[in-house]
Amino acid sequence: MAESVRVGLFVTCLVDMFRPSVGFACIKILEDAGCQVHVPVAQTCCGQTAWNCGDKKDTREIAEEVIQNFEGFDYIIAPSKPCAKMLKDNYATLFKDDQKWAYRAEIFSSKTYELVSFLENVLEIENLKNHLIREPTF
């Protein structure tokens, strides 16, 4: 199943700025699971900071850009549960009064997962620990 799955990896701003190795590890995990992984260059933050501060205008601008950059993928994967929750739950709430964007946000949200939940619940990798932890080769 996974070989035909096109995944858009939402790297998160913290991974991008402070721990890029996490992003590269996510790519490897997803590719090892058989996914075609794409990392849109134009992605930014999920907007959670603006959302938490009540700044709906900036949150909306960020969310529109994120949705546009990730619409072509089968799934959107984030290696962070808080960011995945922002993308999945809060985007739908953000656009509830805008018919055009509400529909796009709903489709986007339905394809968004945190990394481990995607591996377990969508790809149905049964023994995730054994699948991900391999003996080092020297």
**pLDDT value for 15:** 67
Per-residue model confidence as pLDDT tens digits over 21-33: 888 888 899 998 8
Residue 137 in any domain: the answer is no
Residue 41 in any domain: the answer is yes
**pLDDT value for 43:** 81
Residue 116 in any domain: the answer is yes
Residue 117 reports pLDDT greater than 50: yes
Interval 114-124 mean pLDDT: 91
The pTM (predicted TM-score) of the whole model is 0.84
Interval 115-136 mean pLDDT: 75
CATH number, residue 55: 3.40.50
Are β-strands 6-9 and 75-78 bridged in parallel, bridged antiparallel, or unpaired? parallel
The structural domain count of the chain equals 1
Residue 57 in any domain: the answer is yes
Domain that holds residue 119: 2-132
Interval 64-75 mean pLDDT: 95
